C-alpha cells in the first residue's frame, strides 16, 4: 500500500498482457480518501505506446444520463473509440473511506465497477458502467500509474492505494482443472 499526495503519478511497468474474449483482463485497486470535494486521484492502466484507461475520482466529468457536468467517481478511455471522463450514472455522493474499483476488459467492451463504503449519512453502494464500441483487440497493456490523472494536482488532498491487481481471468477450462486438482488433493488427505 502507499499514500499519494496528488500530482505526478507513480509508474510501474510490467509484462504486457492482452485481453481476449475467453480471458479478459481484470484490473482492480482500493482507494482511500479522507476528504470530500475537489479530488483528482486515480489509477491508470496504460500502454506505453498508445493511450490509457483511468478510474477513480475526478472533478470535471459528464454524467452519461443527463449530459451535465459533475465531479466524483468516474472513468475514461483515451483512444480507440472510448469516452473522455464520464461519471457513474446517478452521480453517487463522494464519501470518506476505502473504495474498491475494478474493470473487466474484453476486446470490445469494458465493465467498470466501484463499491462505495457506507457512512453515517449514506448506505454502501455498488455501481457499474459498461463501455462498448471500444476496440482493444490488439492492445497489450504494460504500465500502471497511481496518483493525479495525467500528473494533475489534487486540491482536495491525496489518497491511499492498496490491493492493486492486474491479471488475466482464468479460462473456464483452467478453473475446472484447478477445481479437480483441489478435489483430488482433498480426497487424498482423507
Q: How far apart are CA 72 and CA 70, in angstroms?
A: 7
Q: How far apart are CA 52 and CA 50, in angstroms?
A: 7
* Whether the predicted pLDDT of 182 surpasses 60: no
| Cα within 13 Å of Cα(149), Cβ side | 25
The bridge status of strand 97-105 relative to strand 109-116 is antiparallel
Q: How far apart are CA 108 and CA 176, in angstroms?
A: 26
* Whether the predicted pLDDT of 185 surpasses 60: no
**pLDDT band at 175, cuts 50/70/90?**
very low
Q: How far apart are CA 81 and CA 131, in angstroms?
A: 10
User: Which of the residue ranges 17-21, 50-54, 68-72 would you say has the lowest mean pLDDT?
Assistant: 50-54
The answer to whether the predicted template modeling score (pTM) of the entire model surpasses 0.75 is: yes
Amino acid at each position: 500500500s502507499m499514500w499519494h499526495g496528488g500530482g505526478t503519478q507513480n509508474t510501474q511497468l510490467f509484462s504486457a498482457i492482452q485481453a481476449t474474449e475467453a480471458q479478459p483482463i481484470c484490473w482492480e485497486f482500493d482507494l482511500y480518501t479522507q476528504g470530500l470535494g475537489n479530488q483528482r486521484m486515480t489509477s491508470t492502466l496504460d500502454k506505453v505506446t498508445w493511450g490509457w484507461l483511468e478510474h477513480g475520482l475526478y472533478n470535471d466529468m459528464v454524467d452519461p444520463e443527463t449530459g451535465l457536468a459533475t465531479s466524483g467517481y468516474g472513468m475514461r478511455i483515451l483512444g480507440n473509440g472510448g469516452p473522455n471522463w464520464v461519471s457513474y450514472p446517478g452521480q453517487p455522493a463522494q464519501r470518506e473511506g476505502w473504495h474498491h474499483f475494478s474493470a473487466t476488459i474484453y476486446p470490445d467492451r469494458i465493465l467498470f465497477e466501484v463499491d462505495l463504503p457506507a457512512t453515517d449519512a449514506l448506505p454502501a453502494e455498488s455501481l457499474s458502467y459498461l463501455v462498448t464500441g471500444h476496440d482493444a483487440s490488439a492492445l497489450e497493456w504494460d504500465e500502471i500509474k497511481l496518483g493525479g490523472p495525467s500528473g494533475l494536482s489534487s486540491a482536495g488532498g491525496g489518497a491511499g492505494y492498496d490491493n492493486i491487481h492486474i491479471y488475466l481471468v482464468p479460462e473456464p477450462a483452467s478453473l475446472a482443472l484447478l477445481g479437480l486438482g483441489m478435489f483430488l488433493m482433498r480426497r487424498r488427505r482423507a
